[in-house]
Amino acid sequence: MSGWQRSAGYVRRARARGSSPARLYSVVGLVLALAAGSWGYRAWTVRTVHVSIEGGPPITFETTARSIGDALLAAGIEVFEGDEVDPPLGTALRKGERISIARARSAFVNVDGERIRVALPSGTVRDALAAAGVKMGPLDRVEPVRDTPLEDGIEIKVIRVVQEEVEETETIPFTTLRWADPHLNKGETRIIREGREGLLVRRVLLTYENNELAARRVLSNEVAREAVAQIIGVGTREAVNVLQTATGAYRYTEVIELEATAYYPGPESTGIWADGYTYTGLKAGKGVVAVDPTVIELGTRLYIPDYGEAIAADIGGAIKGYRIDLGFDTYEEAIKFGRKKIKAYILED
């Protein structure tokens, strides 16, 4: 029972015993004065408080405040958002109260294009995510990892991870084979079989991080259509052309420009070698010519304008390179021919 209640009871008892009004008023006044003094004493009681910030040495002061919050405010000790105060700010202050304050650490959570600040006195990255209201998907990840202790000013990055499986197609180039074709002249080609590209179907797992492609992994490759090789025929037959002359048509494969001289198989032209036979054993004369075998093979049939058909059957010490020595039946014919540039047509075998 409070002092005021005890005093009021006393007044009621005095009134019941029939005390005089004057004496009653004196007693009431005394009681009221005592009650007021008692209340004032309690309201302005000085209490000693000890405050420890971040586990540091305690700050001791005296205060008439009635709550933890008022005591800290009166002492000029600021409490910031996220600070942890024990006992809580609204707790009634007791004599010798010991108060501990854990300062909040600012953490910045970067997620979905936003930068969210949260303040926590302690904890890990996981706690900061919870304070920021971040919901993590099954593939999402965070940097630094969730068990990392919080430090003031820490930057936390939430990486949204999405995967999708796609199908890609790719053409398979065809190869080209070259086939000897005896029905074509040398230098000629034709497509024997058209090539066709193949088709490859690939299944790929794409990983996106914050809407950007971060990785791709090939799951499978399957050839949906095989490529078909192209075959090109390459001519192996000697090219044959037709030369029309007054004496008939000649089929030839090549034309060579030569410097020509003439000889007569008698001693007037061949000296001591005038036995009438060539290097290959053929009888020398009109239509038998000497060549350089490295340019025209021996045994090659030729047609030479203004001379006629000939066969390369002889060689000569002076017949080197693109030179030819034409045989005649008489010395006069050889002298008359002299030396000149000619075209020799290599006839078809």
Give the max Cα distance, the chain: 193
Pick the CATH number of 105-159 from 3.40.50, 1.10.287, 3.10.20, 2.40.160: 3.10.20
What are residue 98's DSSP bridge partners? Answer: 50
**Domain made up of 163-235: CATH architecture:** Single Sheet (2.20)
Collapsing DSSP states into helix, strand and coil, what is residue 132? coil
Of 304, 309, 261, 311, nearest in space to 281 by CA: 311
Q: Which helix (H) or strand (E) holds 335?
A: helix 331-337
Q: Choose which CATH entry (1.10.3720.10, 3.40.50.2300, 3.10.290.10, 2.40.40.10) describes domain 241-347.
A: 2.40.40.10
Task: Judge whether 47-102 and 163-235 match in fold.
Answer: no
pLDDT at 80: 81
pLDDT at 271: 56
End-to-end CA distance of the chain: 146
- Architecture of the domain whose range is 47-102: Roll (3.10)
The model's pTM: 0.47
**How high does pLDDT run on average in the chain?**
85
For the chain, domain boundaries: 3-43, 47-102, 105-159, 163-235, 241-347
pLDDT digits (tens, 9 = 90+) for 191-208: 999 999 999 999 999 999
pLDDT mean for each 10 residues of the chain (349 residues): 33 35 37 40 75 90 93 90 88 92 90 94 92 95 95 95 96 95 90 96 97 96 96 87 90 94 79 73 92 95 95 92 95 93 92
Tokens 């198989």 belong to residue: 265
Instruction: Show Cβ contacts of residue 219 under 8 Å, excluding neighbours closer than 6 positions.
Output: 165, 203, 204, 205
Query: Edge to edge, what strands does the sheet with 114-120 contain?
Result: 114-120, 105-111, 154-159, 141-143
Give, in order, the Cα–Cα distances in Å from 288 to each of 53, 145, 192, 224, 328: 125, 99, 44, 67, 8
- Residues 156-167: tens digit of each pLDDT: 999 999 999 999
What DSSP line would sit under 71-87, residue for residue? HHHHHT----TT-EEES
Model pLDDT, residue 3: 35
| Structural tokens at position 140 | 């999402």
Per-residue confidence (pLDDT) for residue 55, from 0 to 100: 84
